[in-house]
Amino acid sequence: MTVPIQCTPDETFVLNLGPQHPATHGVLRVKLTMDGEYVVKAEPVLGYIHRMHEKMAESGTFAQFMPNTPRMDYLSALSYNQGYVMAVERAAGIEVPERAEYIRTITVELNRISSHLLWFGAFVLDLGGFTPLLYAFDDREKILDLLERITGSRLTYCYYRFGGVYNDIDDEFIAGTREFIKRLRSRLPSMYHDLVTGNIILIKRLRDIGFVTQETCRKYGATGPVLRGSGVQYDVRKNEPYSVYPELDFDIPCYPEGDSMARYMVRMDEITQSLRIIEQALDKLPEGPVNAKVPKVLKPGAGDCYCAVEAARGTFGCRLVCDGGKNPYRLKLRSPTFSNLSLFGEVAEGMILADALAFMGSLDLVIPCIDR
């Protein structure tokens, strides 16, 4: 529980959490001012893995920047790949074939599930449970096998192209995906919810811990499961529809409690909804080409456009400014993880250290997404 802290500077000490610490899941440093076990002040310190992605976009062609996108949020790589190609397609007026849009939806939702599974396993491991990590990675490996077959990669996917996708999916991929849907649906009740979600230890560690209000979410621009775990039913796939999502029937999980348990439940429910989306997309998958005719060197007309997608951690936005040349004049990338982390300092004040770590895990941080 969060309690007010009243102490003098002589009674506090500074604890550096990171930049190399298992709980930060990457090179994130949090400077904690502590009064015993209680957090007086928390200051995230960024910049340890900054790679100047946005500046790199200006020095290469539109196509040359493509491999950069999956190296921001490597766990939700296809969402970032999709957000960038959609921005360029919008700027250049490129129409994407319907079959390619369905393939994008199938693959990006598989990637969303794999991201949530890794978060689930690592989050429970942070709280002291090892076995669920093995179950989560066992299922995640099936997704990686499926995506590797068509993308050639298992992590930093660069599968989408301006006007379509790299190559078509085949019957073996479709059959394997349907088998995976059946497998995960059968395992979720027992291996995930019975073992973990209903576990009294997990409930005690997460319920009423890390309470984030809707006002705090708006103040810091939090999106994704963090926002939906505070009772705001906002999802780009529904509120600003793109691709073929308007043709599919799915729900947006939302919990009003605003605590770490609510954010946990949002992600677990999203796994179920993603399975539902993939199954519908496979059923409706049309015949036809998977690529539009696109010039070898793109030169979109001068203009300014913005495109957003719903990544695993929230809204990923691309603002693309073109001047008629073969390189982007300016590319501004909106990171959901940066906004979600920004509220940590305010909410963590007054928590004991163990609860602050549980709260941090519930935010699902990917540090290269912050340090772009």
DSSP 9: G
Tell me what pLDDT residue 68 has. Answer: 94
Predicted pLDDT of residue 25: 79
**pLDDT value, residue 51:** 85
Interatomic CA distance for residues 16 and 45, integer angstroms = 10
Report, in angstroms and rounded to the nearest whole number, the Rg of the chain calculated over CA atoms: 21
Does residue 21 fall inside a structural domain? no
**d(C-alpha 114, C-alpha 245), whole Å:** 19
Instruction: Please state the rounded mean pLDDT for residues 240-259.
Output: 96
Band (325; pLDDT cuts 50, 70, 90): very high
- Which structure tokens are listed for 314? 């929230």
Whether residue 10 lies inside any domain: the answer is no
Does 8 reside within a domain?
no
pLDDT for position 177:
98
Q: Is the pLDDT of residue 4 over 70?
A: no
pLDDT score recorded for residue 10: 67
Tell whether 97 is covered by a domain. Answer: yes
User: What's the whole-number mean pLDDT along residues 240-247?
Assistant: 96
Domain count, the chain: 1
Query: What is the overall mean pLDDT for the chain?
Result: 94
221: left (phi over 0), alpha (psi -120 to 50) or beta: left
What does the pLDDT look like over 48-77, one tens digit per residue?
888 899 999 999 999 999 999 999 999 999
pLDDT higher than 90, residue 104: yes
Q: Which two tokens stand for residue 76?
A: 């939700």
List the beta bridge partners of residue 165.
160
Domain for residue 4, yes or no? no
pLDDT tens figures, 196-238: 999 999 999 999 999 999 999 999 999 999 999 999 999 999 9
Is 26 part of any domain?
no
Whether residue 326 lies inside any domain: the answer is yes
The answer to whether 315 touches 225, Cβ cutoff 8 Å, is no
CATH number of the domain at 311, please: 1.10.645.10
DSSP 62-103: TTTTGGGGGGTSGGGHHHHHHHHHHHHHHHHTPPPPHHHHHH
Q: Is residue 35 part of a domain?
A: no
Structural domain span for residue 159: 49-370
